[in-house]
């Protein structure tokens, strides 16, 4: 521990430049602030540069990331030194005093949280750009002594929050993952106890999961999850929720809609099930418009959204990448109730953000500002009641969890599909990228602009006559499902993923219809009458990444290459000849290129652009779910093997060639997985690139060994 010297000064609140909505006279200040004098007696906040870079989530600034990769691409690194942890005090006369608790000219302090008893402040601190990383610290409010809770060079821990059970949840790059579409690390959710022990991962998400907050009304933890499994990457930054132990991870708002583009800095509103949040864009910093989200009014598009300060209902179809970046700007709201808030606010034309009291109408009082840096992230430094102790029992001694589906036909995902069509569910795990190898046109790839991530078919499970299914999956593993018909073709695919904690049971009502109550699992379905099933293997493919060279090429070699051998032979060329793709820095099989090659003249040159209105991608031979497919729900049979000319041709028999059922099933599966080429991230890489990738993959493996030790120690403690 060490002690920090306080610096205190009175804030002269200058309101001359405020609009008519600003509470400039003392009577207005008394009217607005008076009812909250006790709660606002002390407020902790930070001063630092405005977070975010080319994308809202790029704030990790990991110290030892290579500035230059083999491909010559600069990693994005967003860090500007000069920061303080501060406290403002509101006296009986409504004067505001500022106390500097910590000032660091070389580092950045961020993400303050206050314990439920009001006696401790949790925050993240990075003391230099390249010699330190964000780690979690805790200050004793009475003594001002500070202790460090997390450690480690080359990993960033931030956005920590106190949980009602005494644990701490936070965002961290200890997952050792890279964003699929850019040159930057990703972070996921982690848990540890109040002293920093028993650290373990609870979020297993593709890219960034950010800003966890315990909802004071429900006790659930809300957080922003950026996801794009088999769909475009711009719009899905929805708000998710989970129990404080990581169980029941599911949508809160906006997982299958264009709007809001991104939901940031959400906090639950006391006494309600609503949240106050920032509506922002994709390629934007962390700022935008202030809104209340009420999921009881609907969970998609504008249905449950009301803009506030001033109040306005968004209208029409809103499809904007850089949403909410003009005019007045907000960050980090803290709702005092449904109509009154602490906010980080920057009036239109101002250079820096300040701390304001603001109500639903937009009336405001300036509480803190600085002429050279933004003031932000206000949190009342006071005791507060603990929320309901929600939770679902999990068992860290187990390695599996259970999904139950009441009726796959019940949800909108299979609308119009006749009962009996779906024969089984295919369960696919996702293996996310460890690091970027630095290709000039984007990070590493496992397909030719098709599947984003390595697909591992874990197996299949039957769908019973009543549409039900119940099956076991590996815990702490991101999985998604595909509904398969009697021909082995996809009827519908889940363009998201779900993760279970050890021993957890999660129940779905149907396709795109969730029910997170424990009682759901007790429904008297045929699947549960017969017992929870173990997944049935999908031939010899189960348990490893789906590889075109290892799974499809042998079929082509045996049945097709004799005729389709290139040169003067009929197209397509189906030989295994390796072909170098300079953009991907990968070797693709010639046959793969021949089957998936399309006329991409109409595609935007920039990989990060989404072709709106597109569901499928297709070549002359195959049809698959588009990498830039729409975020909104898609119809059954809208893409895939059922619409692929190659599959129809082979099923009929092509020039006397007879495919076995296994061969047809494997080809259909490859197409329905969005035509992956590589079954591992290194398959097809050159030796130098593989070495770069494996260096970081080994760091992930080392962390997993450390985590296993942490979990064993936790179990030995009897928790």
Query: What pLDDT sits at residue 65?
Result: 80
Instruction: Please state, in angstroms and rounded to a whole number, the distance separating the CA atoms of residues 239 and 262.
Output: 8
Q: Provide the pLDDT confidence category of residue 473 given band limits of 50, 70 and 90.
A: very high
Task: Answer yes or no: do 352 and 469 share one domain.
Answer: no
Orientation angle between helical segments 661-672 and 645-652, nearest 10 degrees: 180
Please indicate, yes or no, if residue 386 is contained in any of the structural domains: no
Residue 300: CA atoms inside 13 Å, Cβ hemisphere, count?
A: 9
Task: Answer yes or no: do 279 and 415 share one domain.
Answer: no
Q: How does pLDDT run across 370-410, given as a tens digit for each residue?
A: 999 999 999 999 999 999 887 789 999 999 999 999 999 99
Please indicate, yes or no, if residue 388 is contained in any of the structural domains: no
Domain boundary among 349, 380, 411: 380
Instruction: Please state, in angstroms and rounded to a whole number, the distance separating the CA atoms of residues 217 and 127.
Output: 36
Task: Answer yes or no: do 436 and 310 share one domain.
Answer: no
Q: Looking at residues 564-591, what average pLDDT do you find? A: 91
Instruction: Please state, in angstroms and rounded to a whole number, the distance separating the CA atoms of residues 539 and 698.
Output: 30
Task: Answer yes or no: do 338 and 404 share one domain.
Answer: no
Token match 């290139």: residue?
A: 566
Please indicate, yes or no, if residue 556 is contained in any of the structural domains: yes
Task: Answer yes or no: do 501 and 472 share one domain.
Answer: yes
Give the CATH number for residue 139. 2.120.10.30
From the list 404, 541, 430, 424, the residue with the least C-alpha distance to 489 is: 424
What is the span of the domain harbouring residue 340?
2-380
Please indicate, yes or no, if residue 412 is contained in any of the structural domains: yes
Total domain count for the chain?
Answer: 2
Task: Answer yes or no: do 427 and 564 share one domain.
Answer: yes
Task: Answer yes or no: do 320 and 206 share one domain.
Answer: yes
ω into 572 cis (within 30 of 0): yes
Token duo for residue 688: 């130098």
Indicate the average pLDDT of the chain.
91
For the cut 50, the answer to whether the pLDDT of residue 605 exceeds it is no
Whole-structure pTM value? 0.93
Rg (CA), the chain: 27
Q: How does pLDDT run across 343-376, given as a tens digit for each residue?
A: 999 999 999 999 999 999 999 999 999 999 999 9
Instruction: Please state, in angstroms and rounded to a whole number, the distance separating the CA atoms of residues 457 and 536.
Output: 10
CB 216 within 8 A of CB 272: no
Please indicate, yes or no, if residue 710 is contained in any of the structural domains: no
Task: Answer yes or no: do 87 and 57 share one domain.
Answer: yes
Please indicate, yes or no, if residue 451 is contained in any of the structural domains: yes
CB 99 within 8 A of CB 368: no
Query: What pLDDT sits at residue 719?
Result: 47
Q: How many helices (H) and strands (E) in the chain?
A: 7, 38
CB 224 within 8 A of CB 210: yes
Q: Looking at residues 608-630, what average pLDDT do you find? A: 79
Task: Answer yes or no: do 284 and 230 share one domain.
Answer: yes
Between residues 62 and 605, the one the model is more confident about: 62
Task: Answer yes or no: do 219 and 268 share one domain.
Answer: yes
Query: What pLDDT sits at residue 501?
Result: 98
Please indicate, yes or no, if residue 385 is contained in any of the structural domains: no
Task: Answer yes or no: do 559 and 656 share one domain.
Answer: yes
Task: Answer yes or no: do 376 and 436 share one domain.
Answer: no
For the cut 70, the answer to whether the pLDDT of residue 495 exceeds it is yes
Per cent of the chain over pLDDT 70 is: 91
Please give the C-alpha separations between residue 635 and each of 96, 311, 358, 494, 615, in angstroms, as whole numbers. 57, 35, 44, 12, 9
Domain boundary among 380, 411, 446: 380
Please indicate, yes or no, if residue 458 is contained in any of the structural domains: yes
Beta strands 578-581; 422-431: pairing state = unpaired
Token match 């569910």: residue?
A: 425
Beta strands 578-581; 185-192: pairing state = unpaired
Token duo for residue 59: 């704030």
Strand order in the sheet with 262-268: 262-268, 275-280, 289-293, 305-307
């Amino acid at each position: 521990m060490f002690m920090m010297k306080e610096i205190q000064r009175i804030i002269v609140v200058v309101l001359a430049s405020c609009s008519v909505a600003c509470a400039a006279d003392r009577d207005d200040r008394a009217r607005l602030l008076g009812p909250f004098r006790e709660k606002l007696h002390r407020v902790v906040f930070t001063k630092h540069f405005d977070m975010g870079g080319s994308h809202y989530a790029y704030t990790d600034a990991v110290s030892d990331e290579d500035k230059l990769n083999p491909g010559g691409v600069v990693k994005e690194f967003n860090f500007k030194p000069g920061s303080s942890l501060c406290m403002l005090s509101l006296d009986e006369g409504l004067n505001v005093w500022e106390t500097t608790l910590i000032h660091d000219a070389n580092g950045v302090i961020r993400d303050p949280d206050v314990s439920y008893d009001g006696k401790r402040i949790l925050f993240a601190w990075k003391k230099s750009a390249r010699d330190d990383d964000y780690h979690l610290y805790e200050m004793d409010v009475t003594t001002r002594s500070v202790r460090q809770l997390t450690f480690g060079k080359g990993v960033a821990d931030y956005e920590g929050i106190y949980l009602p059970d005494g644990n701490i949840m936070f965002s961290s790059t200890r997952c050792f993952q890279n964003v699929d579409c850019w040159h930057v690390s990703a972070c996921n959710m982690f848990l540890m106890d109040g002293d920093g022990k028993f650290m373990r991962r609870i979020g297993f998400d593709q890219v960034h999961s950010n800003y966890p907050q315990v909802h004071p009304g429900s006790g659930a933890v809300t957080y922003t999850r950026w996801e794009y499994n088999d769909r475009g990457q711009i719009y899905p930054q929805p708000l998710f929720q989970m129990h404080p132990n990581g169980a029941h991870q599911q949508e809160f708002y906006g997982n299958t809609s264009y709007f809001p583009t991104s939901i940031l800095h959400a906090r639950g509103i006391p006494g309600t099930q609503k949240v106050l949040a920032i509506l922002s864009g994709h390629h934007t910093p962390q700022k935008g418009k202030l809104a209340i989200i009420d999921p009881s009014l609907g969970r998609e598009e504008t249905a449950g959204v009301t803009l506030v300060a001033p109040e306005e209902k968004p209208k029409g179809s809103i499809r904007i990448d850089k949403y909410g970046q003009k005019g007045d700007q907000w960050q980090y709201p803290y709702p005092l109730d449904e109509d009154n808030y602490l906010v980080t606010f920057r009036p239109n034309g101002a250079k820096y953000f300040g701390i304001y009291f603001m109500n639903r109408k937009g009336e405001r009082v300036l509480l803190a500002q600085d002429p050279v840096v933004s003031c932000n992230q206000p949190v009342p430094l006071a005791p507060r009641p603990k929320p309901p102790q929600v939770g679902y029992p999990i068992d860290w001694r187990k390695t599996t969890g259970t999904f139950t589906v009441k009726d796959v036909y019940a949800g909108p995902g299979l609308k119009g599909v006749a009962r009996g069509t779906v024969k089984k569910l295919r369960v696919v795990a996702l293996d996310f990228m460890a690091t970027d190898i630095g290709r000039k046109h984007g990070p590493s790839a496992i397909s030719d602009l098709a599947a984003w991530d390595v697909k591992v078919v874990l197996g299949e499970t039957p769908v019973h006559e009543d549409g039900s299914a119940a099956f076991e999956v590996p815990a702490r593993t991101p999985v998604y499902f595909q509904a398969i018909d009697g021909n082995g073709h996809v009827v519908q695919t889940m363009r998201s993923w779900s993760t279970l904690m050890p021993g957890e049971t999660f129940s779905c009502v149907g396709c795109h219809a969730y029910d997170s109550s424990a009682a759901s699992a007790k429904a008297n379905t045929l699947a549960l009458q017969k017992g929870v099933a173990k997944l049935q293997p999908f031939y010899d493919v189960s348990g490893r990444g789906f590889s075109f060279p290892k799974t499809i090429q042998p079929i082509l070699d045996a049945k097709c290459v004799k005729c389709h051998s290139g040169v003067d032979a009929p197209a397509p060329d189906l030989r295994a000849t390796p072909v170098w793709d300079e953009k991907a820095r990968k070797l693709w099989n010639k046959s793969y290129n021949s089957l998936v090659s399309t006329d991409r003249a109409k595609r935007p040159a920039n990989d990060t652009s989404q072709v709106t209105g597109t569901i499928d991608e297709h070549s002359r031979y195959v049809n698959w779910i588009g990498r830039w497919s729409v975020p909104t729900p898609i119809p059954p049979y809208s893409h895939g093997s059922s619409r692929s000319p190659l599959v129809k041709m082979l099923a009929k028999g092509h020039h006397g060639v007879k495919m076995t059922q296994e061969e047809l099933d494997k080809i259909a599966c490859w197409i329905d997985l969005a035509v992956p080429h590589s079954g591992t991230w290194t398959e097809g890489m050159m030796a130098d690139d593989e070495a770069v990738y494996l260096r970081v993959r080994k760091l992930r493996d080392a962390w997993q060994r450390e985590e296993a030790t942490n979990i064993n120690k936790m179990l030995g403690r009897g928790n």
